Amino acid sequence: MKRAAALVLVLTACIASPRPTLAPQPAREPTAAEWAAVLPGRIAAANGYIVGRIASLDEDWQYDDPCGILHIVAHLCDGTVTYRVRVDAAGASKLLWAFTPAYGAFGLYKGEAAVCVWTNRVVWRYQECRQRAAIEGQCPYDAGVPTLTSDLDVLPVADSARVDLLFRAAHP
């Protein structure tokens, strides 16, 4: 019995959690339909934006939404992976958190120049939650975390004047 438990423990330790493929891609230009129907609302709902260059990009496990072993083995993980992104602009710097599905590709990269449009959100500290929930029955969270949740939150620098116009119209 002890050998079987040890074997299961060793096998589960060897199973890696899914991570998105880091595939650097420049910010894509939204389509005319996205500019007309989607972006005005996203930018109006945003808390801010910064035009700059990504200075650092680090995994931030505290907000990751991990999957259990069975979901990982069956490739059914629907959790998210979190990255802390520092964007530097002339005289300013902003920390943002980007959330991406566990499977797929993540296109942000260090050195990328872009317009980053963020929205402050409540985010759960899932790693700590999983450790404490069984004991305390509650999950810790952080409010007002500046987040990037869509490709439409990272736009080409050439769109900065358009973003500024939409943002100022919604936030006089």
> At residue 6, does pLDDT exceed 90?
no
Q: Report the pLDDT value the prediction gives residue 62, as an integer from 0 to 100.
A: 87
Task: Please give the model's pTM, rounded to 2 decimal places.
Answer: 0.84
Which range marks the domain in which residue 136 is found? 27-170
Residue 159's pLDDT band, with cuts at 50, 70 and 90, is: very high
Q: Report the pLDDT value the prediction gives residue 5, as an integer from 0 to 100.
A: 46
Q: Report the pLDDT value the prediction gives residue 71, as an integer from 0 to 100.
A: 56
Task: Determine, yes or no, domain membership for 79.
Answer: yes
Under a CB-based contact definition with an 8 Å cutoff, are residues 127 and 66 in contact?
yes
Q: How many domains does the chain have?
A: 1
In the predicted model, what is the mean pLDDT of the chain? 85
Task: Determine, yes or no, domain membership for 2.
Answer: no
Task: Determine, yes or no, domain membership for 125.
Answer: yes
Question: Of the ranges 76-85, 91-100, 116-125, which one carries the lowest mean pLDDT score?
Answer: 76-85
> At residue 35, does pLDDT exceed 90?
yes
The CATH number of whichever domain residue 165 belongs to comes to: 2.40.50
> At residue 11, does pLDDT exceed 50?
no
